[in-house]
Structure 1
Amino acid sequence: MASHTSIQGLAGTVNARLKTLVNAILKKICKEEGLQQSGNKPVLQRRILDLIDEAVRNSDTDTFQRLRHRIYNQGDAPQMGSDSPSTPVYSTAHTSPAAPTRNGFVQPFAPLAQQHQMAHRQQHLFKDSPFYDLRQILVEGIVLEASPSHRQNCTRLIALEPEVCDRFKADPTLRILLFSSIEQPLANYTRQDVAFPSQIEVRVNGEEAKANFKGLKNKPGSTRPADLTDLVRKTPHYKNTLLITYALTQKKYTLQVCMVQKHSIDDLARRIARRNVITKRSVMNEMLKKANDPDIVVGSSIMSLKDPVSTLRISIPVRSTLCTHNQCFDAESFLQLQEQAPTWQCPICNKTISFDGLAVDEYFKEILDSVPKGTDQVTVEPDGQWSNEKEESTPRNSGYGYGGSPDSEEELVEISDYRVSAIKNEAYTPQSLTHTPPLSSREASTAPRTGSKRGSEVIDLTLSDDDEPPRPAKKALPNTAPHTRTSYSNLARLH
C-alpha cells in the first residue's frame, strides 16, 4: 500500500491531466463512478476532483488508482491483469533507476504481453463510427512527413497471418481500411478525424485504390477511410506492397491499415428501432405544454411525410433526442448519406447529432401507419390532433372553362351584357389598319422634336356604341394637281 505522501505527490499530475478531457469523457467517468452527469465542464471536473481529494485524504489507494486509470484511458475502467486499482504505486525511492517514467511519476512494470496488448488498444486514435468496428491493426507507424514542394513516396508491406486469412474467408463483413489523420500534439489523448493529404495516390500491388480522399469542402470529419479489401491478397504471409505517393502538404500525417467489421444500413436501422424510442405520450405532452403556454402562440402546422433528403416517403421515422422539432426523416436515407460523407448534421435543423442519439418517433410512426400511402402531408393541431383532409384545389385551365369537361352544360354560362360587346368592339382592329410602314420610315427622324409630348388617351370600356363620342375627322391631303398644270404651262411658254 502506498503512503499518503506518494499519493498526494501524484494527485497534482492527475488533476492537470483531468483538465484536458472533453465533456463526453468527463460524463462517462461521472456515470461509472456514481456521480451526477449534469452540468458544464467545470462542474463535471469539480465532482471528479472532489472524489480524488477524498481518496488522497483517506489514503484510499484503490480508488485513486481507479480514477487515475480512467483519466489516462478515455474513461475506461482498469482491466484485470493490467494496471488495476490494486496495483501499488511505486515511488522513486523504491524503484529501480531504469524504471520508465511518464508525466512525472514512475510507471509499474508489466509483463511484455500485457504491454503489447495495451499498446495496441491505445494506438487506434480515430473517431468511432457506427458503420464499422475495429478488429485488428494490421500495419501501423506509417508517417508522411511534410512535403510542401516535392513529391514523396512511402512504401510498406501488408502481410496477413494465417488466422487473419481464415477470418476473412469465414466472415464476408470484414474489410481492410486505410486510416489517416493529421499529427497533433495531443494525438495520443484525443480521437482524430480521418484526413488525407490534398494530393495523394494509394496503390496496392500496383493497382490504384479508388477512393475519395478529400471529403466535403470545409467539412472536417467528412472523409471516409480508403477501402483496400479487394486489392489485398488474402494469402498467408504474402507481402502485399502498399505504395503511397503524396505532395504539396505542409502538415505531417499518421496512417494505419486496420481490419474492421462493417455494418450494413439495414442492420443499423434495425438497431435504432430496437434501442431508442420517443414515445407518443412524451410527444403529446410536449405539444400540450407549448399550446398551454400563454407566452407562445401556437397554430396548426403542416407535417411532411416525405424525407427531406431523398424526397421519398419515410419508412422508419427518426430524429435526434437533441432536436426540438417534431418533423422526422427516414433512417435509411440519412444513414446512406452519412456513409458517403459523415457530417452528422440534422437535415431539419442542422444541429450536430450522433448515431446514438437517433430514436424512432412513435407519434410520427402512428401517422404513417394510419394514412394512405399516397398521402404526402398532414395537418397537426396544437393539441396533437392531426388530419389529412386535402383542400379542394382549383383546377387549372384545360380549355373547357372552370369545369374542365366539354360535356358539362352546367358549367357553360353565356353572359349577355352590352359592356362585353363594347370591349370586343374596342379590342378588334381591322387588318387594313395594321399596315407596317417601311423600314426607312421607321428610322429615327433628324428633324427637331417639339417640347410638348403627346397626351395619353383614356378609353372608357363601359360605354356602348351609342354613347361613344364621335371620332375626329381625318385630315384631307393637299391637292397638288394645279401646281402641276402651272409648271407644265410655264415650261411650254419658255419653249
Structure 2
Amino acid sequence: MADDNANTIENMVKSFRVSELQVLLGYAGRNKSGRKNELLARALQLVQKNCSASIEMRVHDLYKKFESNRRRFPSNAAKNGTSGLVDMKTNLTGYSSFPHSLLAPHVMDFLGETPSSTSTQSHPIPCDVTLKPLPFYDHLENILPPVSLTPRGTSRNQEAAFTFHLTPHQTQLITQCRDPSLSGGIEYPVQVQLRFCLLERTSEQKDDFPSSCSVRINHRTVTLPNPIPTNKPDVEPKRPSRPVNITHYCKLSSSSTHSMVVGWTTTFQKNFCVSIYLVRQQTSDVLMQKLKQKGHRHPDHTKALIKEKLTTDRDSEIAISSLWVSLQCPLGKMRINIPCRCLTCQHLQCFDASSFIRMNERKPTWQCPVCFKPADYRDLIIDGYFVEILNECPLENEEIQFFEDGTWQPMKPKKSLKRSDSCSSFEENNKVSPAKICTVIDDGDSSDVTREREKETCNNSKKFIDCIDLTETDDEIQTFEPETVTCFSTDSRSGGSPVRYTSSSEDDDETDSLEGSGVWSVQNDVLVLEET
C-alpha cells in the first residue's frame, strides 16, 4: 500500500510543469533554479528520500490546482495559437472590477494575480515572542509589538503591509537628542529600531532576517545589513543578526501615519515576526560603568571553585595538584586590567572587561574568548579574587599557580628561564676540539714523509655567533665538529712555495684560508710555523 502511494506521488510530480516544480522545491527549501530536467530530478529525490506528510500534502495541493486549471482552460492555444489565450485573458479582465474575494482562485492565477503574494494586514496578529535584549541599546517604548509574518496562499514570495504611529512624547525624545555629525548628517541617540526574529515562544530569540527580506517605509527602500557570503552549495547567504535603524525613514511628526511593507520568501517550517521599538543607544563606557556598579564577585567563591577543581577524585587515575592561569587577556595579549568572567563559564581564566566590551561594540558576537561559548553582557561579573591577585602580583609575572587550598604564587617568566638554559647548553655543546695538522714534504719522486702533530688551536678557532632559538629544546641542539687534516707540500712545480691541501670529514669542496700568525721556515726538510 505504501509503494502504491509512493508511485502515485512520483507520477504527480512527473506531470508538473516548471512552475509547480519550483513551488514544491521552494516549499522544501531546496534550490529552485535550473532547467526542467534538473528541477524534476531534485523533486523526485525529495519525494523518494524525504517524503514527509507536509511534502505529500503539498504535492496533492499542487496537483489539484494543476488539474483544475487544465480542465477549466482546455488547450485552446493548441487549436487557435497564442491568440486564444490573449482573447480569453482579455475577456476575463472584466473581472478585475469585482473584489478579489469573489473571483475563483483559478481565474486569479490565469490573470497573473496572486492575492497571497501581497497581503495587507490591517489587523496584525500579535505574537508572544521575547527578543534578546541588546546591551548597546536601552529599550524605552514599544512602537509596534512583535507581529507574525503569516504567509497567505501557496506563493512562496510574500508581502505584508503594516502601519504605525509615533506619539508626541516619542517624537520629542527623538528630536531633542539628535546631534549633527561631522559627515554632514544627523545622528540620533534615540532611535526607531526595526527587528526581525523567528516565531518561537520557547526561549528568547536573537535577531534573524527572513529569506530574501526587503522593507519599504513610506515608499522608501530600507537599507538592510549586507548578506554574509557562503561557499556552501544550495545555501542562501544570511544577513548578520543585528537590528536596523529606521529613524531616517520616519516622519518626525506625531500626526503622520507611517506605512511599512515587508517582503520575504517563505522557508520550510520557519515563520518570522517583525517589531519596532524606541531605543536609546549606549556606548562602551556606559556599559563599563554599569558593570562596575554590579560589584565584584566575592573571593571566597573563586577559592571554592579552585578547591573543587583540584580535589582528588578516587575513581580518577589522574590527580591534579595545581593549576596555571595567565594574567594576560586572550583578546589583546596585554595584562588584564579589570578581570571579568561569564557566570555560565566553568574555567578560571579571566579576560579584560574593557577590551571585551569594546570588541563587541564594533562587532557584536558576545562570545567568551576563552571557551568560545555565549557570554551575554548581563551574565558578566568582575572576579574579586583576581582583582586582589593583580594588585599583589608583580608586573613582570605573566602567570600564577593555584594550589589545592586556594592559595597562589607567581610563576617565573618563561622567556628569561628558557634563555638562560639555552645559553648554558649552547656553550657546553660548542667547545672547540683540537685540530690535527699533518705536514708532508714532497721532494720530486721521493716517497711521502708524514708527521702528525696535535696542537691546541683555541686561539685560531673560528668565532661563533651567539644565536639562540627559543623554539628549540636543549635536546635538539647538536653541534658537528668536523676533523680537519691540513697538508703542506714544497713541490717544485709550485716554485718552492708551500701548497696547502685540506681534507675534511664533511663533503665540502671549499678550501678554508690559512689562519694563524707566525713565520714559516724549513728545518730538516720539515715546514715549521714559528709563533711570533
TM-score with structure 2 length normalisation? 0.46
Which structure's relative contact order is higher, taking Cα pairs within 8 Å and 6+ residues apart?
Answer: 1
Is the strand fraction higher in 1 or 2?
2
